[in-house]
Structure 1
């Protein structure tokens, strides 16, 4: 009998059953859909209504103020607002994919509302041209709209995420089209929207951004009055001027169905029901037509709105919400009258089992080989039911059959139970989202959670997330932000406790993001308390800065050890505070101070000098000045007697004075003083010699260069000025004279007095210049016989070397010298003889 009552609700359209269960009795009062403009969102979404100002209506107890009201699918009001928008009549209203309500008025202004009837700023516009021409009709799709103006021009917004109006090609028509439909960009070859216009001729115009085409020539016998494109963009259902339903391909290249309708008057609404049937609605009748067979008629004594879904059509009336859809195959196999399918017998077996009839076992024996398919069909049928008692019975039947299956997937029933619990929870009138299983799978659980939290159904969203094993962070975050916005009267400390109680439920949740929201809502103290709980410094520090907690941010940044974060805080404070206050802030933070100094050494010398002066580090200022003098010296303009040397010398002298103020830097002070004097002398030398070869060379190089240039007086002046020792003076002059090969001057110099460095350097200088003859002048004067022997050996005089070595009585030296003359047999024998003699004398 149960089967009979279930199947009795169905209607047969050719060879397929359809049913129209009532999902809700509408909870609203005094709503007559004929008096309102209505926008219904797909996927069981909200319903927006506003009084249609183009109709003269009797005001019940309703306010004269025009209100936009938003209800859930069960007719429970979610929100309302007074409509106060200029710009002319409301032309069109629809919901986008993310449940934003789009309202288009006559002058092309677009107002956007969220589900709480709050206006989303800024308002959009269809453009200046559209504003001047006036909008007369709109067609919407998932995330876009097309508007036609009084001048028959088309304007389009392809995506509200990037709301840029585009003017489409001029269709070149003089009168408004009878009907308009859109093929969404995702279904067109070009990837741009295509607008179909039903005009007076026997063809349809297809308008794109860059052109207009005529379609259906020779196919249509006259103008089309109504058009609607299928969900997948492949088919076009239209109502012709002579009362026929015509289903063609969307490019109007071929006819799929052509059926006579019962009225030549165009229907008020036309909609696809899934992909197998088309609905046409006149003011008292809903006609459902399929490819063959008699149509199904549903009579209504009140106005209805058709809301197409992916697998059927929701029908909204003043009193109810119904869902017209094709009966799933699994349901047909179980409940068709007289069905003997395995699923029907299994369902029947449960009934017998409940009544303790032996017929249960008989049924199971009949379908033993097909039991897995029967169980699967019962599970599938349960998923397509809105009535929870029928869901339960079907799942019990599946569970009963599964007990006798060895190879059936055990978790299929649990999965379906889980899914149905979610669907039943959101379908309850309080929530009012009546999703079928197919819609739920298309929508995805994460989008459903998003819709629940946007509707402030946080508890249900949290429970579903937990139940489905999804991340709860999104829900808790949204709840926390909403709580802050709505709790203006609750003290910060109390609200903090409430928030922390929930935020701690989710590991890794961003306290910083909630704190940012609190700050945005003007609750800076609460934000500061919240950010304390953020474990990630990378999120905590920037937020502390944005809420004006710079000192805390600096502490947290330095504690993290992340130099990038410390620099972020430093630059922020640097911009906001006076220099002295900034210096005081960083002085007590070693890491921050050192990082600031490192940066400022490279890019901000003057500022760093101020810092060192404020902290009494005069020697550091002196080092900076000295460095600046070197930087100035690198300037190419600082050569050739340039006046830039003056500022350099002043910088070094200033550094000298600063070094002198600290006892620990007496050496640096003396060095700076000498450096300044040397630079002065070098600068003068460059001016007099007109050669840029002195500045920044050492004292020794300066003396050497003076001698090379023949300026002995200048060389002597440098020697005296810098107290150059005699030994150093002799070394420098010897090698300078040998460089310019002035051997006479060298000899004269050697005879001025006994050289304090001896004659060895004279010998070295001559040998290096490859002047053996000159070297011979000085070798005999070398006092140490060893050095004399080695000098003779270097210019190849073996006998003299041997004589000098024998005077030294150094056997090792003789051996070494012998190796030097190893190529010369005679010389080698001399060294052998002398060594033998030396050995003999030693033995004695």
Structure 2
């Protein structure tokens, strides 16, 4: 009897059964679909309703202001707002894959709303041409939109996450198309959207960004008035001018189904029911047509909206939500009238077992070889049911049969029970997501949890994620951010306690992200208190900087020991604060100070000098100046007649003066003094000899060069000025006598002259300097 009652609700289309159970009685009031524009999201998503401004309707007690209202699939109000957009008539609206409502108005502006009717900024423009020429029609898909203007030009946005309007090729038609459909980019050869336009001739134009193609010239016998592309983009269902339903390949090369309809008037709606049948809706009749057999008729005394799903069609009316789908094979095998399949006998055996009838054992013996298949069919049929009692009965039948199976995987029943618990929870009218098991598998649990938290069902999302063994961080994070946004009247301290009580449930949760949201909502004090609980310095420090807590950020970065974080804080404070204030902050913090000095030595000498001056480290400034003098000496310009030697000498003298101010650096002061004196003498020698060979050479080399050039007075002056030691003469004299005989014949007059001078001069140092110069001169001459 149970089998008869279940199967009695089915409709047979050729050799396939279809069922249309009622999922919800709509809880909304005073919503008439024929007076409104309606957009329904797939996968049991929300419903957007706004009064249709293209129709003349009687307002009654309703306000003249139009309201955009958003309901769950069970009719619970999720949010509403006044429609305030002056861009002209609303052309169309639809839901994207991430459940954002997109609304296109006449001037080509696209407005976006959340499921709580909150306007998202900024709006999107379809371009200047749409603004000037006005949009007259549009088609939405997944995350995209195609619209057509009064001049029959097509514009497309392929992805609302990257909304760049693109103008498609000019279809070159004078009259507006009779109908329009879209093949999504993932199903086209080019990877771009393809727009199908039904025009007055017996053909369809396929318009892409780079061209237009005529389709259907050989198979069509007249214009097409309505089109619908299948979910996988392979098939096109169309209604012709003479009342025929054609199902063709999407390139219109082959007709698969051609059937006469009961009316030549085009249907108000044309939709695919899964991949099996096509639905056509007129004022009071819904016609379901398949490849063969007579169509199935459903009659309605109120307007309906068809919502295509992957495995059927949801049917929305003023009072109810139904789901039309093909009866699954497992369900058919159990509940079909007269079925003797193993699954049906197992289901019947459970009934006999409950009534303590011996026929239960008889049924089990009959299906013993096929018992695993029967158990699997009962489990699968339970998954496709919306009725909870029937789910239980089917799962009990599966469990009953499993007890007699030795080789059946016993975790199948547990997995199905887990799945059904989740589905039954989200199908509850208070939640209003009537997902089938196939839709649930296609949507994935993680996306479902995301949709639950977006509709502020945080507790249910937390329980589902916990039950499925998923990470709960996303749920708790979203709840915390929502709580901050909605609790403006609660004090920071009280709200902090509420947040911490829940945030501690999830280990490793980012307190910094919640604190950033608090700061974004203008609650900087709460943000500072939250970030104190963030254990990861890499997340804590940047946030502290963003909320203006530079001192705390620097302290936390130093405590972490991460030099990259310390540098991050240093550079941030460097840009934000005055130099003296910055110096004061880092002076007492050794790691920060040392890192700053290391960096500034390489790239910011002037700033480092200011730091040393502000902290009284004059000797460090002197060392920097001395280093600068050597860097200046490396400049190529310094070897070309000495225009840079003057500034070098001044820098060294400045370093000398700084060294003199500290008693501990007397030696450095004297060295700087002699260095400046030597550079000045070398500079004068280069000017007098017009040869850039003296600067940056040693005292001995300077004396030697003077002797080689014959400038003995200058050599004597350098020796006297710097009190050069005379012990080198002996070594130089010895070297002279080691010169090979073959070198002794060079310029003997000059040689004798030099030696006579050396012999007459009692200065040993000068003697041997000259002797070394003589040897160098001899080697050069040879």
Q: Which residue of 1 aligns with 2:104?
A: 104
Please report how far the alpha carbon of residue 733 of structure 1 lies from its aligned counterpart in structure 2 after TM superposition: 8.1
Q: What per-residue deviation string (whole Å, max 9, x for no partner) do you get for residues 505-533 of structure 1?
A: 22221111111111111111111111112
Q: What secondary structure, in the 3-state scheme, does the structure 1 residue paired with 2:727 have? A: helix
The 1:747/1:455 distance shift into structure 2, 3 A limit, reads same
Q: Is 1:748 matched with 2:767?
A: no
**Whole-angstrom CA distance in 1 between matches of 2:770 and 2:677:** 31
Residue pairs, 1:308-319, within 5 angstroms: 308-319=308-319
The 1:161/1:766 distance shift into structure 2, 3 A limit, reads closer
Q: What per-residue deviation string (whole Å, max 9, x for no partner) do you get for residues 281-328 of structure 1?
A: 111111111111111111100000000000000000000000000000
**Whole-angstrom CA distance in 1 between matches of 2:570 and 2:94:** 50
Residues 725, 765 of structure 2: 8 Å contact kept: no
The 1:639/1:758 distance shift into structure 2, 3 A limit, reads closer
Q: What secondary structure, in the 3-state scheme, does the structure 1 residue paired with 2:423 have? A: helix
Deviates more, 1:667-676 or 1:750-759: 750-759
Q: Which runs of 5 or more structure 2 residues have no equivalent in the other structure?
A: none
Q: Is 1:147 matched with 2:147?
A: yes
Q: Which residue of 2 aligns with 1:198?
A: 198
Q: What secondary structure, in the 3-state scheme, does the structure 2 residue paired with 1:565 have? A: helix
Please report how far the alpha carbon of residue 736 of structure 1 lies from its aligned counterpart in structure 2 after TM superposition: 9.2
Q: What per-residue deviation string (whole Å, max 9, x for no partner) do you get for residues 679-699 of structure 1?
A: 111111111111111111111
Residues 66, 82 of structure 1: 8 Å contact kept: yes
Please report how far the alpha carbon of residue 557 of structure 1 lies from its aligned counterpart in structure 2 after TM superposition: 1.2
Q: What secondary structure, in the 3-state scheme, does the structure 2 residue paired with 1:412 have? A: helix
Q: Which residue of 1 aligns with 2:180?
A: 180
Q: What per-residue deviation string (whole Å, max 9, x for no partner) do you get for residues 802-825 of structure 1?
A: xxxxxxxxxxxxxxxxxxxxxxxx
**Whole-angstrom CA distance in 1 between matches of 2:27 and 2:634:** 86
Residue pairs, 1:747-786, within 5 angstroms: 747-748=755-756, 751-752=759-760
**Whole-angstrom CA distance in 2 between matches of 1:702 and 1:166:** 77
Q: Is 1:284 matched with 2:284?
A: yes
**Whole-angstrom CA distance in 1 between matches of 2:450 and 2:774:** 95
Q: Which residue of 2 aligns with 1:548?
A: 548
Q: What per-residue deviation string (whole Å, max 9, x for no partner) do you get for residues 640-688 of structure 1?
A: 4423211111111111111111111111011001111111111111111
Aligned residues: 771
**Whole-angstrom CA distance in 2 between matches of 1:105 and 1:573:** 48
TM-score by length of 1: 0.88
Q: Which residue of 1 aligns with 2:341?
A: 341
Q: Which residue of 1 aligns with 2:724?
A: 724
Q: Which residue of 2 aligns with 1:827?
A: none
The 1:719/1:393 distance shift into structure 2, 3 A limit, reads same
**Whole-angstrom CA distance in 1 between matches of 2:681 and 2:218:** 105
Q: What per-residue deviation string (whole Å, max 9, x for no partner) do you get for residues 330-368 of structure 1?
A: 000000111110000100011111111111111111111
**Whole-angstrom CA distance in 1 between matches of 2:731 and 2:556:** 62
Please report how far the alpha carbon of residue 761 of structure 1 lies from its aligned counterpart in structure 2 after TM superposition: 11
**Whole-angstrom CA distance in 2 between matches of 1:416 and 1:602:** 66
Q: What per-residue deviation string (whole Å, max 9, x for no partner) do you get for residues 367-425 of structure 1?
A: 11100000000000000000111001000000010011010011000000000111111
Residue pairs, 1:522-533, within 5 angstroms: 522-533=522-533
Please report how far the alpha carbon of residue 726 of structure 1 lies from its aligned counterpart in structure 2 after TM superposition: 2.5
Q: What secondary structure, in the 3-state scheme, does the structure 2 residue paired with 1:667 have? A: helix
Q: What per-residue deviation string (whole Å, max 9, x for no partner) do you get for residues 136-171 of structure 1?
A: 111111111111222222221111111111122222
**Whole-angstrom CA distance in 1 between matches of 2:755 and 2:216:** 118
Deviates more, 1:122-131 or 1:426-435: 122-131
Residues 704, 732 of structure 1: 8 Å contact kept: no
Q: Which residue of 2 aligns with 1:162?
A: 162
Residues 229, 237 of structure 2: 8 Å contact kept: yes
Comparing both chains, which one has the higher relative contact order based on Cα–Cα distances under 8 Å and sequence gaps of 6 or more? 2
Residue pairs, 1:643-662, within 5 angstroms: 643-662=643-662
Q: Which residue of 2 aligns with 1:801?
A: none
Q: What secondary structure, in the 3-state scheme, does the structure 2 residue paired with 1:174 have? A: coil
Residues 26, 318 of structure 1: 8 Å contact kept: yes
**Whole-angstrom CA distance in 2 between matches of 1:56 and 1:765:** 114
**Whole-angstrom CA distance in 2 between matches of 1:334 and 1:178:** 46
Q: What per-residue deviation string (whole Å, max 9, x for no partner) do you get for residues 238-288 of structure 1?
A: 111111111111111111111111111111111111111111111111111
Q: Which residue of 2 aligns with 1:599?
A: 599
Q: What secondary structure, in the 3-state scheme, does the structure 2 residue paired with 1:493 have? A: helix
**Whole-angstrom CA distance in 2 between matches of 1:54 and 1:370:** 61
Q: What secondary structure, in the 3-state scheme, does the structure 2 residue paired with 1:691 have? A: coil
**Whole-angstrom CA distance in 2 between matches of 1:586 and 1:122:** 43
Residues 143, 159 of structure 2: 8 Å contact kept: yes
Please report how far the alpha carbon of residue 113 of structure 1 lies from its aligned counterpart in structure 2 after TM superposition: 0.6
**Whole-angstrom CA distance in 2 between matches of 1:765 and 1:96:** 91
Please report how far the alpha carbon of residue 639 of structure 1 lies from its aligned counterpart in structure 2 after TM superposition: 2.6
Residue pairs, 1:610-689, within 5 angstroms: 610-689=610-689
Q: What secondary structure, in the 3-state scheme, does the structure 2 residue paired with 1:726 have? A: coil
Residues 11, 19 of structure 1: 8 Å contact kept: yes
Q: Which residue of 2 aligns with 1:393?
A: 393
The 1:97/1:691 distance shift into structure 2, 3 A limit, reads same
Residues 734, 765 of structure 1: 8 Å contact kept: no
Q: Which residue of 1 aligns with 2:243?
A: 243
**Whole-angstrom CA distance in 2 between matches of 1:736 and 1:321:** 116
The 1:711/1:729 distance shift into structure 2, 3 A limit, reads farther
**Whole-angstrom CA distance in 2 between matches of 1:680 and 1:760:** 25
Residues 541, 565 of structure 2: 8 Å contact kept: yes
Q: Is 1:501 matched with 2:509?
A: no
**Whole-angstrom CA distance in 2 between matches of 1:736 and 1:291:** 117
Structure exhibiting the larger radius of gyration computed from Cα positions? 1
Q: Which residue of 1 aligns with 2:483?
A: 483
Q: What secondary structure, in the 3-state scheme, does the structure 2 residue paired with 1:195 have? A: strand
**Whole-angstrom CA distance in 2 between matches of 1:322 and 1:5:** 18
Residues 38, 49 of structure 1: 8 Å contact kept: yes
Q: What secondary structure, in the 3-state scheme, does the structure 2 residue paired with 1:323 have? A: strand
Please report how far the alpha carbon of residue 759 of structure 1 lies from its aligned counterpart in structure 2 after TM superposition: 11
Residue pairs, 1:458-469, within 5 angstroms: 458-469=458-469
Residues 108, 130 of structure 2: 8 Å contact kept: yes
**Whole-angstrom CA distance in 1 between matches of 2:768 and 2:684:** 35
Please report how far the alpha carbon of residue 224 of structure 1 lies from its aligned counterpart in structure 2 after TM superposition: 1.2
Residues 39, 49 of structure 2: 8 Å contact kept: yes
